[in-house]
Amino acid sequence: MAKRSEFSFSIPATVRSTMRFQHAQASVNQHTEIVTACCWTPENDVITCSDDNTIVRWRMDGEVVGKVASVDTFVTSVDWVPSVGKQGADMFVIACTDGTFRIMSKNGREEKKVQASDAGAIISLKWNYDGTALVTAGEDGSVKVYSRSGNLRSTLANTGSSIVHPFLTCVFNSCVGNAVYAVCWGPDNDQILFTNSKNLVIKTIQVGRKDIQWKAHDGPILCIDWNPINNRVISGGEDRVFRVWDGFGRQLYQSPVCEHVITSIAWSPKGDMFAVGAFNMLRLCDKTGWSYCRERPKCGSLMDISWASDGTQLVAAGGNSSTLFAQVVDRHLQWNKIEVIEMSLGYGFLIVCTATQCFIYNFQNWNTPHIFDLRAAVNFILQSECHFITVDNFHGIQVYSYEGRAISNPKFNGMHVEFLHRHTVSLSIDTVSILDHSDRKTIRSFDINTGKALPITFTHSLDVLELALSHYGPSTDRKLFFIDSNRDLHLSRLSHKGSFKLQAQVDSAAWNDSSEMLVALSDAKVRSIVSCE
């Protein structure tokens, strides 16, 4: 067996732990009262809502565009309807303290007002990932689902309970139960996570599936988020602790006790990190929970955090009427002996994407890059020996040559670009394979040159978590490994149906770039290096 040092496995470049936030806020606050909510638009502008009854639009650089609207009540939450395909969304929704939510056009016109509660404020609301349903939660303890047009579909839960008066024998059916401070959707749009005092509850929309509830904190939970990429939940509350959970309620991380109450928390879109907000504190954390950095902005309690779609910056709503913008800086990528700050480096090429352009550098000549324009912010990049792909929410998957020429645009019906990440898309010199998110047991492969689907679509018996194509050998013998939900490593050929199991309890695996070799890690140790010839 050859030594490991003689091989160059296609392990992605790693991000250094020096990554941190660089934050900025205007010297004069645009709002005059506490900023309660914020979100991003499809054009990468920002919407903020305040107790001064105004809704303001900002550019991504922190410059004010202008006031969008004035409302006759206080806004507690805001969310822009997700874009679907190439059609940009042109409306957003706000939750209000008078028990209503209001559907607003992008110009600030109120399209519809819905009385969602007669017993208190609506505290939190979220669109599902395809923008077809809206969930609301509030002071009355009810969790409700509405259609895109604002029609009530169902009341999923109510934390109100019957109260027995200590001096009377009668029972009062009280709607003053535990207020639901936060709510969000699960990865498949079929589950909803919400707070219930110290508990977290995962409620399934489909009938017949059991709900999950567990005690998550020692005080009321104020903020939660559930990432569709890594299927992890984060939560924070009045016990001054934030925690990381898996999708079944098992704790993965608990932070030390912070100085102040955790008031906001949010995953980055890619699921590789998250941000935590408290009084004069903004923390950047790895997906496992440990901290990259802690910033001390003078902004009061951060009431809401929202990430941009490319995961490079966020906006936060300040309790002292400020709006905080923060960028992720000092991100180091390393390949062989070359180190860069941004994007993707491999196979002798450096790919750098800004918000509007893509730069392709050859390591033999750094001075003359190939440059072409982009129409949307790139979510991530994958490289192979002859091609690379960009993934964005507008074009989906786009294959390019290293001269910057567009080759193809592989796609299929029901492809959710926002759920794609490096573990569910793989690129070789002639093929791209994609996990079908609508059926996580199915892997679809496409010819790079034409963008057409290959005749064989692979379907496994369990959900697939990770996949990768081999780089070596002819296209007729292209191989694919995948890791399923049992953490079993399987190997298959694209030209044949079926697969065989190589290893159990696998954490990760990688192909060698220049031979038919595969390395697998199990229990954080190298268990086997196998030849797949």
Pick from 329, 353, 382: which residue ends a domain? 329
Tell whether 99 and 241 lie within a shared domain.
yes
State if pTM tops 0.85.
no
Question: Closest Cα to residue 66, out of 108, 121, 27, 101?
Answer: 108
Tell whether 198 and 71 lie within a shared domain.
yes
CATH number, domain containing residue 35: 2.130.10.10
Tell whether 318 and 424 lie within a shared domain.
no
Pick from 329, 345, 361: which residue ends a domain? 329
Tell whether 163 and 312 lie within a shared domain.
yes
- Tell me the pLDDT of the chain (533 aa) as tens digits: 333 333 444 444 544 456 899 999 988 899 999 999 999 998 899 999 999 999 999 999 999 999 999 999 999 999 999 976 555 578 999 999 999 999 999 999 999 999 999 989 999 999 999 899 999 999 999 999 999 999 999 999 998 643 333 333 333 333 345 899 999 999 989 999 999 999 999 999 887 778 999 999 999 999 999 999 999 999 999 999 999 999 999 999 999 999 999 999 999 999 999 999 999 999 999 999 999 999 999 999 999 999 999 899 999 999 999 999 999 988 776 777 666 656 789 999 999 988 788 999 999 988 999 999 988 888 899 999 999 999 988 889 999 999 999 999 999 988 888 889 999 999 999 999 999 988 899 999 999 999 999 988 999 999 999 999 999 888 888 999 999 999 999 999 998 888 989 988 898 899 988 888 899 988 767 766 666 66
Tell whether 322 and 435 lie within a shared domain.
no
Pick from 312, 329, 346: which residue ends a domain? 329
391 in any annotated domain: no
Q: Do 51 and 317 touch, CB atoms closer than 8 A?
A: no
Tell me the torsion sign for CA atoms 122, 285, 187, 38.
positive
181 in any annotated domain: yes
Question: Closest Cα to residue 68, out of 82, 78, 58, 79?
Answer: 58
Tell whether 110 and 231 lie within a shared domain.
yes
Tell whether 311 and 457 lie within a shared domain.
no
Tell whether 418 and 316 lie within a shared domain.
no
525 in any annotated domain: yes
Tell whether 172 and 46 lie within a shared domain.
yes
Tell whether 324 and 436 lie within a shared domain.
no
Separation of alpha carbons 358 and 49, rounded Å: 34
The CA radius of gyration of the chain, in Å to the nearest whole number, is 24
399 in any annotated domain: no
141 in any annotated domain: yes
Domain containing 32 equals 20-329
Tell whether 57 and 171 lie within a shared domain.
yes
Using a CB cutoff of 8 Å and minimum separation of 24, what contacts does 370-375 make? 370/402, 370/403, 370/404, 371/404, 372/400, 372/404
Tell whether 62 and 179 lie within a shared domain.
yes
396 in any annotated domain: no
Structural domain total, the chain: 2
